[in-house]
Structures are given as structure tokens and as C-alpha cells.
Structure 1
Amino acid sequence: MATDKKNKPKLTERVKGLGTQIRSVYDMSKAANPNTPLILLAVFLGVMVLFGALGLLFDLFVYFLVLGLPVAVLATTFTLGRIAQKAAYTQVEGQPGQAGAVLQALGRGWWYEQEPVAAEMPRRARSMNDMSGAAMVFRGVSRRGVLLVAEGPKGPAQRMLTAQEKQVHRIAGPEVPVTTYLVGSGEDRTRLSEVVQQAKKLPKQITEPEAEAVHRRLTAMGGISKQAGMPKGVDPQRMRTAKRSTIR
């Protein structure tokens, strides 16, 4: 009995925590898309109507309604997750560090740098409040190879992507696959959500130990602290605008 009493507060705290998390996701989704309540209601009612119709067809109306309720809740939760994901990408797009947010959204199986591996700052940049013109490259490693994601002005960003790709092949070997993206909106750029989708579909070409070894070799090169052009007082880690749990 004593053990049960001890477990009850923990269960209550978990339920409250889950409720708070769902509420925050809902609020974020609604702020980005005011139609969120209507969309969720339409999904829930649509599933219930479908199961109700099946119940009438098989003369098991109540049974199918009970069966459809958890399915409707699951479908509504999934829809909320998709809306929240899109909202999170919308918040990140265009912000300094958006390329790093892509790597954080890839989930398990990826090793990625917390700071850009290369950066070229505009001369006018003196602080974190003036980073809109910065070009940066972030790097991730998995069984799918090395992923280089750049942001910023096309010229400097593309130049650094090419340089980083050559550096990866020189250090990790030419057999290690390298995939590059220039994120953003417009021509010759890939949106954040598309990068995540495409990166997850890349074929696995190396083993996990090989991927970890590649990551260690590349990390040994040093990060942004060894790159030229970073203005004093700029902390690259503060450029990150999304946590792993936010975009997934």
C-alpha cells in the first residue's frame, strides 16, 4: 500500500506534465495557424462519422463508435503534431542558426556539431543582434554519411559548402558520402522541412562504428573557434533557435 501511495503522485505529475506539453504545443500551433481548432475538430468528427457509418452498415453502431473514439483521438493528436511541426519550422526559417535547427530535428542516429563548422560574418556584425548577413555551415554525421547544411548569402555559403566537402573527403576519405544543402526560400535553396525529409530518406551507406569514427575525425579538426571572421562577443551556440524536442 505504501508503494502505491508513493507512485500515485508520480503518475499525477506525469499526467500534468503531458497535459502542459500538449497545451503548449496547441498554443504554438494556434498562434501560427488560427485554423488549428477547426482542423482538429474536422479530423476528430470525420473519423467518428466514418466509424458511425460503418456501425450503421454492420448494425453495430455503438460498438463502432466506441472503437472509433481512440482512433479519432490518435488521428487528432497526429494532426496536431504535424501542424506544430510546420509552425516550428516557420518560426525558425529566416533566423540565424536555422541550418543548425535542421540537424537537431533529425533525431537519433546523428552526430552533429552544436556550433557552425564554418562561418563568414559581415564586417558590420558586432554582436548577436546583427547576424542577418552571416553565412554559416553546420555539419552532421550518421550512417547516411556526412550532411552539410549552409545558410546565408549564396556566394559565401556555397563557397564554404564546397570547401567543407573537400575537407571531409580529405580527412574521412573519398568513400564517405557527403550531402549538401543550402537552406532558405527562393531559387537554388531548400526549405527546412524538405531538408529533414530528404535527409531521413538518404540510404545508409556506412556502419554505425564507421559513422562515429568519421564524426570523431572531423571533430578533431576544430570548430568555429578556428575559423576566421567571427566577430568578438558572438557566441555561435546562441544562434540555435530550436531544441531537439521542438522540431521533430
Structure 2
Amino acid sequence: MSTPVAPEDLSRRQQFVQTYKMAKKSDPRIGLWSLLAFLVVGAVGFAVFWFLPGPNLFFAIPGGFVFGTLGALILFGRRAQAAAYSQMEGQVGAAAAALKMLRRGWKTDPAVAFTKQQDVVHRVVGPPGIILIGEGNANRLRPLMATERRKHERVVADTPVQELICGREEGQVPLTKLSRHLTKMKRAVKPADMTDILNRLKALDANRSAIPLPKGPLPTSMKGSRQNMRGR
């Protein structure tokens, strides 16, 4: 049996093919919509370059192709991302996989705490401070997150520690909006302070018991769909 290849070790074309196969399982028309986006946006690009002064046809054809390709990639990336979220939702560790969509300036530590029933608390450190993100049963998560909050506040008393639960119930943040919700939170930490905060958290984590991670299938990495969405 061949060993699975990590997404970051695949070529750009292989990542695209893998993402397409994954997305098509829950979005069978993703190829059709991408083709339609290519034709419509390409036609708009062709028209734009056609009416510019100069050798119109010389610029209109490649211009339409570039516009169409860009439009198709943007639509493909967004639908692939939505398909990935729909396939991950409900799995243990889905929030941790979604948090990989965060760009530079954020540090994610999955499963810093959990219950025997596989309710999990992840930690994100970024411009808003420290955010504890729970996924699972809200009633079991609240005392667990409160305990984690107290632990973090003792170590980094001058840094805001906030809590949220990822889910579909009232007051929770849906998986599809998790990364965007975090990036819209009020900034409270300067980039220069991040190193000191992370060093303090390392000391906190070093004192934790060596408890194994909860069992269960981990969601597929979203690295490929994220790169395709950004056209890179």
C-alpha cells in the first residue's frame, strides 16, 4: 500500500486535481460553474480590451483568457472551500482544520484540552489576544474552557483571553465563518508582544500532563483549497 502524500509535498497541478476530486463529492457541478465563470468573465475581459485604443484583437484574446482564468479560479476556490467545510463539519478536530485558513500573524495550537467524550478546546494566539475555541457539547465545554481561561490568565495576565464555541447553536460561531470571525475581532496585541506571549504559553503547556489526543478521524487538510482560492 502506497503512503499518502502530504498536501504540501504535492505539485501545484496535483493539489488542484486533489482539491477538485474532494470538492466534487459534495458539489458535483463545481466544474460546470467554473467553466461558466471562465466564459462569462472572459467575455467581459475580451470586451474591455476590445474597446481600448490600439491593436484590439492582439490584446483582447489574451486579456479575455486571463480574466476568464482568474474568474474561474476565484469561483472554484470559494466553492471548494465551502465543500471542504461541509465535509469536515461534525468531525473531531474540524475547527482546528478550519483555523489553518488563518494567515501569518496567528498561532494555532489544536486540542490543548479535551474531555473523554471528545469535546475539544483549541487555542489561537493573534492580534485579538488569546482565543480559546471549543467544539463539542456546550455544557461539557463551558467548565473545561473556564478552567483553561483561568490557567492562561495566570500566565499572561496582561493579555485578553476570550472564549467561543464553534457550532450551529445560538451564540456559537459556525465552522464556515470561524476564520473570518477571528480576523474581525478587535485588535489588542501588538506584533512585537507575540513572542513573549508564546514563550509564556510554552511554559504553561510544558506543565500539562502527557495525555493522548482524542481518537477519531482527522479532517482532510484545507491547504490545497486555500491555495486554489488565492490563485497561488
Q: TM-score, normalised by structure 2?
A: 0.79
Any idea what SS the aligned residue of 2:204 has? coil
**2:160 matches 1:177:** yes
1:157 to 128, 141, 154: 141
Q: Does 1:194 align with 2:177?
A: yes
How big is the shift at 1:224?
9.9
- The aligned amino acid for 1:241 is P
Partner of 2:131: 147
Structure 1 position 241, deviation (Å): 2.2
Residues 137 and 151, structure 1, Cα contact 8 Å, conserved in 2: yes
Which amino acid in 1 is paired with 2:213?
D
Aligned residue among 116, 119, 139 for 1:135: 119
Secondary structure at the aligned position of 1:149 is classed as: strand
Q: Structure 1's 247 and 23: CA in aligned 2 closer, same or farther, altered over 3 A?
A: closer
Report how far residue 77 of structure 1 moved: 1.2
Aligned to 2:221: 243
Partner of residue 63, structure 1: 59
Q: What is the distance in 2 between the residues matched to 1:109 and 1:244?
A: 18
- Say what the alpha-carbon RMSD is for the aligned residues: 2.7
**Structure 1 gap segments, 5+ residues each:** 1-15, 123-133
**Structure 2 CA distance for partners of 1:219 and 1:237, relative to 1, 3 Å:** farther
Is the contact between residue 100 and residue 240 of structure 1 (CA under 8 Å) also seen in structure 2? Answer: no
SS in structure 2 opposite 1:117? strand
Task: Give CA-to-partner distance per residue, 1:119-161, whole Å, 9 cap, x none.
Answer: 1213xxxxxxxxxxx2111112123311211011110112222
Instruction: Label 1:150 to 1:215 Cα distance change in 2 as closer, same or farther (>3 A).
Output: same
Is the Cα–Cα contact under 8 Å of residues 55 and 62 in structure 1 kept in the other structure? no
Aligned residues of 2:116 and 2:214 also touching (Cα < 8 A): no
**Percent identity over paired residues:** 25
Could you tell me how far apart the structure 2 residues matched to 1:247 and 1:57 are? Answer: 35
Report the counterpart of residue 34 of structure 2 in structure 1.
40
Unaligned runs of 5+ in 2: 1-9, 227-232
CA distance in 1, matches of 2:46, 2:67: 12
Equivalent residue of 1:202, what SS? coil
Kindly provide the amino acid, as one letter, of the partner of residue 113 in structure 2.
A
Deviates more, 1:188-197 or 1:159-168: 159-168
Residue 58 to residue 220, structure 1, CA distance change in 2 (3 Å): closer
Q: Give the conservation status (yes or no) of the 8 Å contact 1:105–1:247.
A: no
Residues 246, 56 of structure 1: alpha-carbon distance in 2 compared, 3 angstrom cutoff: closer
Shift of 1:25: 1.4
Q: Measure, in 1, the Cα distance between the counterparts of 2:52 and 2:189.
A: 52
Q: TM-score, normalised by structure 1?
A: 0.75
The 3-state SS of whatever aligns with 2:159 is coil
Post-superposition offset of 1:84: 1.5
Q: Which residue of 1 aligns with 2:43?
A: 49
Question: Kindly tell me: are residues 148 and 239 of structure 1, through their superposed partners in 2, closer, same or farther at Cα, counting changes over 3 Å?
Answer: farther
Report if aligned partners of 2:84, 2:222 keep a CA contact under 8 Å in 1.
Answer: no
Does structure 2 conserve the Cα–Cα contact (< 8 Å) formed by 1:29 and 1:80? no
The alpha-carbon distance between structure 1 residues 207 and 238, as it changes in their structure 2 partners (threshold 3 A), is farther
